[in-house]
Amino acid sequence: LFICIDHVGLAVPDLDEAIKFHAEVFGWRELHREINEEQGVAEAMLGTGEQGEENAKIQLLAPLRDDSAIGKFLGKSGPGIQQLAYRVRDIDEASRVLRERGMRLLFPEPKRGTAGSRINFVHPKDARGVLLELVEPATDAAH
């Protein structure tokens, strides 16, 4: 069902400060940065090397609004791990299988994620306390 862990997402109050911290202390490199208005986030993908299949990644997520998913998470839990993202080849098929297995997905249809990917989430209550993101990366043609 899943190919690999795509990334781990960290909620942060200030994106620039967080990128600097993770670069200077842990040596992560910024691979990509964007604003996703629909999700209410300013986000950056950080990697351990050149972007590629083998590269470990973390995603820094800063809220654009207090009532966004990240804004609420920071208000309730403070900075920290907000999500674990699994990469899938076909998000429609993965969603179908997971729904069949009793998991609630947060959105009826996948939404747009980082770099043109398609994303959805398994409800944290169903995934035993973890907000699980499903990521189908964009094909080159979709970039």
Q: Which of 19, 41, 42, 74 binds ligand CMX (CB under 6 A)?
A: 41
Please, which residues bridge with residue 121 across strands? Answer: 133
- Given the complex with ligand CMX, which of 27 and 76 has the nearer CB atom? 76
Contact 112, 135 (CB under 8 A): no
For position 39 contacting ligand CMX by CB under 6 A, the verdict is yes
For position 72 contacting ligand CMX by CB under 6 A, the verdict is yes
For position 52 contacting ligand CMX by CB under 6 A, the verdict is no
CB of residue 101 vs ligand CMX: minimum separation in angstroms? 19
- Given the complex with ligand CMX, which of 27 and 59 has the nearer CB atom? 59
Contact 87, 100 (CB under 8 A): no
Which residues 103-132 are close enough to bind ligand CMX by CB under 6 A?
A: 106, 113-114, 119, 121, 124-125, 129-131
Residues that bind ligand CMX (CB under 6 A): 9, 36, 39, 41, 61, 69-70, 72-73, 76, 82-83, 106, 113-114, 119, 121, 124-125, 129-131, 133
